[in-house]
Amino acid sequence: MDSNPAEMNWEELKQAALGCKKCRLCETRKTVVFGEGSPSARVMFIGEGPGKTEDETGRPFVGRAGELLTRIVENGMGLTRQDVYIANVVKCRPTVDQKGFKDRPPDPEETAACSPYLMRQIQLIAPEAIVTLGNPSTRFLLQTSTGITKLRGKWADYNGIPVMPTYHPSYVLRNGGEKSPLRRDVWEDIKMVMNRLGIPVRSPGT
């Protein structure tokens, strides 16, 4: 098998990621969370990395933050998780001091090691829009150090694909959850994506 992700087909890429030991996160992961959804999705959601539940199940965004993202996709956009594609910048769970207790964002080395998988996923899916969730995925795709608060709600570009940065669902949950104004901001950002893709906005919110 070719070892360059940029030249792999979807199945080769998945198998390579599932057996990957390119960074230290392989030492503490339970499973590799490759991503989930349609390989021909019109929209991709990209977070930072798997959390505890994701590490245990091998599925992205299935904990509390995942429930919020699922509501955005299903109740807000009128789609299913199988209609979109959900992935992360790194495929294995990063935790503080690699102890497996407290999640943390991926560090630059881990991001550099893992990002070829994500870049190839984006290339193969060729979505019409990407929604980046939080700082790590936004900063990686847009190659910026600017924070999400300044970037959210404004269209950006990754290799010709429109990118809409918005808050990570975990951040929304940590800052008021259902009643948080951040949640309204996320919905405003998602509506811009829906408008761009011609998805009718029927719901008053998520």
Residues that bind ligand SF4 (CB under 6 A): 17, 20-23, 25-26, 32, 90-92, 110, 113-114
Pairing of strands 161-166, 129-133: parallel
CB of 175 to ligand SF4, least distance (A): 27
Distance CA 54, CA 117 (A): 18
Nearest to 7 by CA among 113, 120, 115: 120
User: Considering beta carbons, is residue 22 or 196 the nearer one to ligand SF4?
Assistant: 22
List helix spans (H) across 39-147. 52-57, 64-71, 108-125, 135-142
User: Considering beta carbons, is residue 132 or 206 the nearer one to ligand SF4?
Assistant: 132
CB of 169 to ligand SF4, least distance (A): 21
Q: What share of the chain is helix, strand, coil (3-state, %, to 5)?
A: 45, 15, 40
CB of 83 to ligand SF4, least distance (A): 25
CB-based burial of residue 82 (10 Å sphere; 0-12 exposed, 13-18 middle, 19+ buried)?
exposed
**Any residues with CB less than 8 A from the CB of 29 and at least 6 apart, and which?**
50, 55, 92, 93
User: Considering beta carbons, is residue 77 or 114 the nearer one to ligand SF4?
Assistant: 114
Distance CA 119, CA 89 (A): 9
User: Considering beta carbons, is residue 23 or 122 the nearer one to ligand SF4?
Assistant: 23
User: Considering beta carbons, is residue 79 or 122 the nearer one to ligand SF4?
Assistant: 122
CB of 149 to ligand SF4, least distance (A): 27
CB of 48 to ligand SF4, least distance (A): 11
